Amino acid sequence: MTVSSNEANADQAEHWTTEAGPKWVGHQAQLDALMTPVLDLLVAAASPAPGDRILDIGCGTGASTLEAARMVGASGHVTGADISPTLLDRARERAAAAGLQNTTFLNVDAQTHDFPQARFDRMMSRFGVMFFADPPAAFANISGALVPGAQLTFVAWAGVAHNPWFDIPRRAATDQLGDMPAPDPHAPGPMAFQDTDHVLGLLAEAGLEEATAEIAEISLTPPGTAAETAAFACEVGMAARMIREFGASEADAMQIERAVAEAFVPFETDHGLRVPARLNLYRARTPA
């Protein structure tokens, strides 16, 4: 599959199409289960209503788009936008299987795509807006697609230290392989929006109004045992990246997975694993 090189975020397109994308498709059911509380938080805050026209940015394999489509009903419509055709293929399959005819999926770079102006009533995103090379430009572009006074609602991670889902695999991989270079905390990636003051500044720079940030403490709900969850976490998260970048041996990878499994055991409950997570919930509005 060829990824266009003229996109502002071509590196992200390449990553989510050829590297991460197939893994996320393969683990789609596990990821949806893991992130169910995140989606619940997002839709409660975004409040999709019957008849709404919603733009879902970074929709991935479609969980958020499909949930919003159910909420807006036949009189509404949800457009899911993502930079990865790999993820969108699965999203379209799921929408068809669910019989949801009020969805459209766009394979675009939301930072630069020429969206129809004032088309949508709301924008929402579950972990889909932290990867832009130029966030103010991206939010300004997205805002142009929204009606005046429309609400943007999105959720982002509040930092590795507050999220064992990231921190445990990172620590296990570091113990086995050594440290990675310290990343730029604002660089595009899962943790780019951990600093709420920084993000509120980006939203203001994009011309948005009434921007707020709220810390949300939830529990992620991965399916399966601690050992099964460790294997899953080492396929799609920080440990997978470190294993790849260090060129780790199979023995190293197995040791990392064992360490992750051991660290997840305290999160086992009678209802399955419950992994604490801290998120940042952002809201803003387009000018009226």
pLDDT tens across 142-201, in order? 999 999 999 999 999 999 999 999 999 999 999 999 998 888 999 999 999 999 999 999
Query: Percent of the chain having pLDDT more than 90?
Result: 93
Q: How confident is the model at residue 6 (pLDDT cuts 50, 70, 90)?
A: very low
Residue 76 clears pLDDT 50, i.e. is over it: yes
Torsion of CA 82, 83, 84, 85, to 10 degrees: 80
Contacts of 57 (CB under 8 A, 6+ apart): 81, 110, 123, 124, 125, 128, 129, 142, 154
Average of pLDDT values for 226-248?
Answer: 92
Q: Residue ranges of the domains in the chain?
A: 10-159+183-219+275-285
Q: What is the CATH number of domain 10-159+183-219+275-285?
A: 3.40.50.150
* Residue 237's pLDDT band (cuts 50, 70, 90): confident
Q: State the DSSP H helix or E strand holding residue 82, giving kind and residue range, or none if neither.
A: strand 77-82
Return the closest-CA partner of residue 81 out of 101, 96, 64, 99: 64
